[in-house]
Chain A
Amino acid sequence: MESARLAGPEREACVLARYLIGEDPRPEEAGRYALALKTVALPLERERDRRLWALAMRSTTALGLVDAGLALADPYSPVRQRVCLMLAVLEASPAHTRHFLSAAYPRAALLGLGLRMAGAALRSAGGLALVRSWGILWR
């Protein structure tokens, strides 16, 4: 899917899928995400959430920081709920099972996982600073 030509929830689905698994969603998955938003009714009622969501939709880097920060500061925020909905949609699709079903791996791969988690910790620290600074630095 060409996210540049999309708008609204379908574009969000594209951004989120690339962020989560590095792949574009199939049209039916993007449509399912749009339906989920409508069905679960996830309004971003707080000004902070609306601003964070607008920032997150600009790039996957910004989305990563917002997501990581909220994971520590407000793990059940509606911003993260939208990300979780897309993750669930991707998981319940036969097109992306390799990202969700485990396969055998050598113990050495744990080293790579450890490095990634070190990066994740840095992202969390940066994200937390970003989320907490709302109202002080960039309101």
Chain B
Amino acid sequence: MIHDHIVVGSGITGAEVAHTLVAGGARVLMVDAGLRDTTYAALVPEQDFLSIRAGDEQQHRYLLGDRFEGVPWGEAAHTLTPPRQHLVLGTEQWLRFQGAFFRMESLAFGGLGAGWGAGCAVYTPAELEAAGLDPAVIGPAYETVGRRIGLAAEPDDASPYCARGLATLQPPLRMDGSTAALYAAYRRSPDALRARGLVMGRMPMSVLTRPLGGRGADPYTDMEFWADHAQAVYRPWMTVESLLNDERFEYLPGRLVLRFEEAADHVAVHVRRLDTHQDEVLLARRLVLGTGALGSARIVLRSQPEVPERPLLTNAYCIAPCLHLRRLGRPLERERTSLGQLEMFLDPRGDGLDVRMVSLYTYRSLLLFKLVKEVPLAFPDALRLMHALVPAIVLATINHPDHAAPGKRVWRVPDAGSPTGDALRVDYSRTPEEEREDERCERRILGALRSLGCPALKRQRMPAGATVHYAGTLPFATGEAPGTLARNGRLAGTRRVYVADGSGLRTLPGNGLTFTLMAWAHVVARGLVERGADT
């Protein structure tokens, strides 16, 4: 049997491609590893964080994990709460990786989108052009996707950097007291920051503040990192679940796609069952990869041995815990959200390029011990200190853009210990010029926060890759250079293989990439619908 379309992956781009194809009347087979959390999801009560902490005797199970996997140790990096740790289940075995680079990939149902922070940044036209995307095409796609998943936002100073052109919006999330006070300080004299190239405002969030479809509004329980009973935050698995009701959609879980071979009228997709390790071959008129920039690189490098080592982009970032002095002694309110509530953007040259994004978080539901262990004092002293300071702590995460450079590359190597016989190896280092510019921008940003009464206590550069934003492994190009994509997502050297994730981006803006990837996936799939099944 030859399927019309095989879509690989159920994450943020795979789900979007499948939805757009099915909505356009096409038939889709989604091939996915599809691992799920069977341990913790049912344990988390439908209560707010403070009520759970005060009363649930079982809280240790999901807060710390049955294997204490929620108690990280060592240098801080991106860590997942126990209910989210299934996102990386099986990746050490099946997606082998080498190199001094923080990598997070997923074999979970819904992919890494199940742990996404819900920020939906619209890239500026200059950023889209630089990345190789057509603003005239991507712009309407942002609106289409946003309308479907539900976006909470309102126009403000930050809109030119993250919400340009969005029309259908729900009311924004309520800020908590600390964030609202910081925003009020900015609003009293915004020109002072604007003169330094900085603005503050709210990024659109894929969080409902009004019910939409079968999903409920955010209940402000401060539990977003642990559970979402209302399904207020959009996750790609929701799209896949709804597609399962459509007879044009078929879901095939438990499979890892290894490689493909193109024939005259079809693509042969070689997959391996995760349970029995048996190999299978599936046939399709068209294959669409939505497996992330690393996952797609892995499949392409296996399928096209002539493709040389690939470039790799990732956002460098640092975390700066800042002390909001006016909030000392005032605890956070019960009803709040753990998600990012306020954003800053630094446009260093005023041209909308190389913009730095700063997400501001207040801290409570990720537990105090994770902060305490980072303080260079004895634990009881650090506990007293953080107990007093934490309601006034604002975590500023500064995201930097990335550009291709010779020291940023990924390639495939043999690995005898891998069930696939290979691994990806990454070599990644930012150029000295980039590091100097990052340093300059971080100083400007932290200076601005200091002027708002929120000085930084420290600044911690995170390991390369720790943003879990990866892109640029199969960059857009004209012609048929191996390992590149055409502007419609078609992989060079093929006629029937498309890549709908971030592999094509030629540069990676500092704004979060997830929403742009969804818009791009929509564009790729819509193009396939318009061109029909035979080309």
Given A40-B68, A84-B73, A93-B60, also A113-B388 (CB < 8 A): yes
Distance, CA A70 to CA B530, complexed state (A): 64
With a cutoff of 8 Å between Cβ atoms, the chain B residues found around residue A102 in the complex are 331-332, 364, 387-388, 390-391
Which A residues between 42 and 94 are near B, CB-CB below 8 angstroms? 64, 67-68, 71-72, 75-76, 80-81, 83-85, 87-89, 91-94
With a cutoff of 8 Å between Cβ atoms, the chain A residues found around residue B68 in the complex are 36, 39-40, 85, 88
With a cutoff of 8 Å between Cβ atoms, the chain A residues found around residue B192 in the complex are none
In the complex, B180 has a CB within 8 A of chain A: no
* Contact of B383 with A71 in the complex, beta carbons under 8 Å: no
With a cutoff of 8 Å between Cβ atoms, the chain A residues found around residue B390 in the complex are 102
Number of interface residues of B (CB under 8 A): 43
Min C-beta distance of B441 to chain A, whole Å: 28
Chain-A contact segment, one of B244-252, B295-303, B343-351, B371-379: B371-379
With a cutoff of 8 Å between Cβ atoms, the chain A residues found around residue B329 in the complex are 104-107, 109-110
* Contact of A85 with B376 in the complex, beta carbons under 8 Å: no
* Contact of B55 with A94 in the complex, beta carbons under 8 Å: yes
Given A87-B383, A91-B367, also A110-B378 (CB < 8 A): no
Given A83-B379, A87-B379, A94-B54, also A117-B385 (CB < 8 A): yes
Min C-beta distance of B157 to chain A, whole Å: 31
In the complex, B57 has a CB within 8 A of chain A: yes
Closest to B368 in A: A100
Bitwise, A107-119 to B at CB < 8 A (1) or not (0) is 1011001001101
Closest to B62 in A: A92
Q: Which of B70, B380, B384 contacts A64 (CB 8 A)?
A: B380
* Contact of A19 with B380 in the complex, beta carbons under 8 Å: yes
* Contact of A94 with B56 in the complex, beta carbons under 8 Å: yes
With a cutoff of 8 Å between Cβ atoms, the chain A residues found around residue B60 in the complex are 32, 89, 92-93
* Contact of B57 with A84 in the complex, beta carbons under 8 Å: no
Q: Interface range on chain A: under 10, 10 to 19, 20 to 34, or 35 or more?
A: 35 or more
With a cutoff of 8 Å between Cβ atoms, the chain B residues found around residue A107 in the complex are 328-329
Min C-beta distance of B520 to chain A, whole Å: 40
Distance, CA A94 to CA B70, complexed state (A): 17
* Contact of B71 with A88 in the complex, beta carbons under 8 Å: yes
With a cutoff of 8 Å between Cβ atoms, the chain B residues found around residue A67 in the complex are 378-379
Distance, CA A116 to CA B378, complexed state (A): 12
* Contact of A87 with B59 in the complex, beta carbons under 8 Å: no
Mark B residues whose CB is within 8 Å of A.
50, 53-57, 59-60, 63-64, 67-68, 70-71, 73-75, 328-332, 364, 367-369, 372-373, 375-385, 387-388, 390-391
Closest CB pairs A-B (n = 4): A120-B381, A68-B378, A92-B60, A102-B331
Q: List 17 A-B contacts (CB under 8 A).
A: A19-B379, A39-B68, A67-B378, A71-B376, A71-B378, A76-B75, A80-B379, A83-B379, A84-B71, A84-B373, A87-B373, A89-B64, A91-B367, A101-B53, A107-B328, A113-B385, A124-B378
